[in-house]
Amino acid sequence: MKQSPDDFQLVRAFQSGDEKAFEELIKRYQRQVANIIYLTLGNRHAVEDLTQEVFIRAFRSLLRFEFDASFYSWLYRITVNLCIDEIRRRRIKRTFSLEFFSEERMSEGEKPSKKIPTPADALLESEKKDIVASALQKLRPPHRSVLILREYEDLTYEEIAQTLRISVQAVKSRIFRAREEMRTLLKEYFQERT
């Protein structure tokens, strides 16, 4: 369990008007929030800004926190929701720029690469850990989030269910499917290793 006994005390202090308590909560969870964002979105671009945005959203709703879940599962829900918003926003932006500005972009020599590196390509051009990260990006966002909370944050099925407000059964099946998909995506990589 990651629940520090002091999280609730800090939240109570914040609710009584102590803003420094909130800064302590930021210090405690900034790294985890940043990495969940990074793993979910797949690049470092704007990770710091988005991490800040998570804490802004948290600040705005922490007064209504009811102590019915751990602070971190509440915070990770905000993080996952923000990532989903961001994925949607980037998808719209990408669709828009591809449809309307593709020619200008090409002329400027910054045509976005539609090709996501295959495991074999990635193995040549980057470290092995990048292969896993790029496979992760191919998962559907709901499967991706569940796997990240499990593998990176070591949350239990129960905690993930609480964080994402889904059933434990749904968590179990999403993790299983995410892993099976990852195995298929990383087939070549695993074959090369054996």
Partner 1 sequence: MKHQDIQNRLSEYIDGELAGPVLSAVEAHLSTCSECVGIVSQFRNIRAGIKERADVELSGSFSANALRSIRLQIDESGNWTPAEFIARRTVLALSIVVLLLVGLTSFNFQEEEISVERYLRGEASDSAESQILFNGDEISKDDVLMAAVSKQ
**Residue whose structure tokens are 């407000």:** 165
104 or 192, CB closer to partner 1? 192
Here the tokens at position 134 are 């790029």
What's the min distance (Å) between Cβ of 88 and partner 1?
22
What's the min distance (Å) between Cβ of 15 and partner 1?
6
C-alpha to C-alpha distance for 13 and 20, rounded to whole angstroms: 9
1 binds partner 1 (CB under 8 A): no
The candidate with the shortest Cα–Cα distance to 65, out of 22, 115, 118, is: 22
Counting other chains too, the contacts that 144-147 makes at CB distance below 8 Å and 24 or more residues apart are 144/39, 144/40, 144/178, 145/40, 145/80, 145/83, 145/84, 146/171, 146/174, 146/175, 146/178, 147/174, 147/175, 147/178, 147/179, 147/182
Residues 2, 45, 60, 140: which binds partner 1 (CB under 8 A)?
60
Residues 41, 50, 51, 161: which binds partner 1 (CB under 8 A)?
51
C-alpha distances in Å from residue 12, one per residue of 21, 22, 78: 9, 10, 19
Binding positions for partner 1, 10-49, rule CB under 8 A? 14-19, 22-23, 26-27, 30-31, 34-35, 38-39, 44, 47-48
**Residue whose structure tokens are 């609710």:** 15
What's the min distance (Å) between Cβ of 103 and partner 1?
35
Q: Site map for partner 1, 108-147, x if CB under 8 A?
A: --------------------xxxxxx--x----------x
74 binds partner 1 (CB under 8 A): no
59 binds partner 1 (CB under 8 A): yes
Cβ atoms of residues 116 and 145 within 8 Å: no
Cβ atoms of residues 71 and 11 within 8 Å: yes
| Contact set with partner 1 (CB under 8 A) | 14-19, 22-23, 26-27, 30-31, 34-35, 38-39, 44, 47-48, 51-52, 55-56, 59-60, 63, 128-133, 136, 147-148, 150-152, 156-157, 172, 175-176, 179-180, 182-183, 186, 190, 193-194
